[in-house]
Structures are given as structure tokens and as C-alpha cells.
Amino acid sequence: MPSPTTRDRQTSYILEMMQRLGIEPGGGVVPRLGLSYATAFRRCGTCACKQACREWIDHGPASATVAPRFCPNADIFYELRAALPCDGRAHPPHP
């Protein structure tokens, strides 16, 4: 079982990833997407690409709107970005 410090660090990756992609964690959560958020948090906790994630968060493209291919949550982040209210931000291109 991971220590609380490890668990906090893992969770912070998903929050940072969401912020980099322009997704407000917990902001404007649509009830039908609640399971998507829960699934994304679980996937992040079991992800084997933590070092690649940290590097992408630290050095990836500043204007990224799509998660990197190695991210197990790329599909969920795409769905969450597409569900954002139209506020002038660009939505991700259709894959």
C-alpha cells in the first residue's frame, strides 16, 4: 500500500495535468461525468508512467489541449475538455 506522501504526490499529478489541459478540477462538474473523474483519479494512482508524466507537466507544450499518448487518462481528459462550457477556449481537435 502506498504511503500518504506517495499517494498525495500521485494525486497532484492528475490535478496538475488537468490544469495544464485547461480542465478545472471539480469545476463545473456535470453529474454524468462524475464517474469519469473518479476513474481518472484511480487510473492516475496506478499509472506506470509517473516519471514521463512529471517531465511532461514540467516541460511539455505550454498550450497543450490534449494529454500525451502515454497518459492512461487521455480519453477521459478529452471527454472532460469537450464537455467544458464554451468560454472562448479552444476545444481539442477530434482524434
Question: pLDDT tens digits for 33-64?
Answer: 778 888 898 999 999 999 999 999 999 888 88
pLDDT, one tens digit per residue, over 66-92 is: 999 999 999 999 988 887 776 545 444
Examine the pLDDT at 5 and tell me if it is beyond 60. Answer: no
Q: Give the C-alpha distances (Å, rounded to integers) separating 23 from 1, 39, 72, 89.
A: 29, 16, 16, 11
Question: What pLDDT was estimated at residue 84?
Answer: 73
12-20 mean pLDDT: 88
pTM: predicted TM-score of the whole model, two decimal places: 0.71
Alpha-carbon separation of residue 56 from 44, 68, 76, 92 (angstroms): 14, 8, 18, 18
* Residue 86, all three cell numbers: 464554451
Chain-centre distance for alpha carbon 73? 6
